[in-house]
Amino acid sequence: MKKIERPEQSFRDPEFLESLEGRTLRILSEYLSPMTRLDKAKINSTILFLGSAKADPTNADSAFHRYYWEAEELAYLLAKWAIGIKTPKGKDFVVCTGAGPGIMEAANRGAMRAGGQTIGMNISLNQPQDSNSYITPELSFSFHYFFMRKFWLAYKAKAVIAFPGGYGTLDEFFEILTLLQTSKISKKELALVLYGGDYWRDLIKFDSMVKKGAICADDLSLFRIISTPREAFTYLKKRLSESLA
């Protein structure tokens, strides 16, 4: 009688795991694996930096050039301050980005310059986006699903700073803003900053949205527009210190 080979266990079967039927497991893994790794690293809370991947630190003619270095400086100031915070829960206000180049690289770079750990949450795309070299290796993540990546970018954030950027930055900023507006996230628990007043006021006419009745005047208090690293640091330090009380 011919010996029948033992079939592969389902959780080791790559064909099943990559199938339509295995999608739930893939999604679940992108929830549980980051949770396990962040808990192991004792990451209690984060500061999320958003912004253009096109910000070039070497091209002084680029419209985003100065924002790269201002993001680097702000991340440095916040990380240097946060390192001195001692709580029994773990590390608070660790700088987190989407792991790519531009503003993301700048924020990771500034945090590393301060001697802090730094988180990068990359996404797999048709045109691969390499993770920048300023991310703490054990805190480097890669996601397939955008919605799981956005969940983890926001979940532990106590502050979100949106530097000038394009579609991706707008998508992430407005999702956070909607969660604040609908009280899915408490305004007391998360500080939302638009960095670069000239850029954002030219791009989005918030006052016009109020006049047309699209939003309420009170909705403008859900975020703060700031234009210098020192001003942003002073504001966020006060807000974040209150969250520790």
Angle (CA) 232-233-239 rounded to 5° is 90
Dihedral sign from CA coordinates of 71, 56, 117, 176: positive
For 46, the 3-state DSSP assignment is strand
pTM of the predicted structure, to 2 decimals: 0.93
24 domain-assigned: no
20 domain-assigned: no
CATH number at residue 158: 3.40.50.450
Q: Give me the torsion for CA of 122, 128, 130, 136, rounded to 10°.
A: 30
Least Cα distance to 91 among 24, 43, 23 occurs for 43
150 domain-assigned: yes
| Helices 65-83/229-244 angle, 10° precision | 30
Counted domains in the chain:
1
128 domain-assigned: yes
So what's the pLDDT on residue 1? 62
So what's the pLDDT on residue 30? 96
User: 181-184: which pairs have CB atoms within 8 A and are 24 or more residues apart?
Assistant: 181/215, 181/219, 181/222
137 domain-assigned: yes
So what's the pLDDT on residue 121? 98
**Separation CA 81–CA 78 (nearest Å):** 5
**Separation CA 200–CA 56 (nearest Å):** 19
Domain that holds residue 62: 43-244
Mean pLDDT by 10 residues, the chain (245 residues): 69 77 90 97 97 94 94 98 89 97 98 98 86 96 96 97 97 97 94 97 96 96 97 97 85
Output Rg (C-alpha) for the chain, integer angstroms.
Answer: 20
225 domain-assigned: yes
For 193, the 3-state DSSP assignment is strand
To which residue do tokens 């400086």 refer?
73
90 domain-assigned: yes
Extended strands (E) in the chain: 46-50, 94-97, 118-123, 140-143, 157-162, 191-195, 224-226
Strand pairing category for 118-123 and 94-97: parallel
**Separation CA 176–CA 183 (nearest Å):** 10
The residue type at 112: M
12 domain-assigned: no
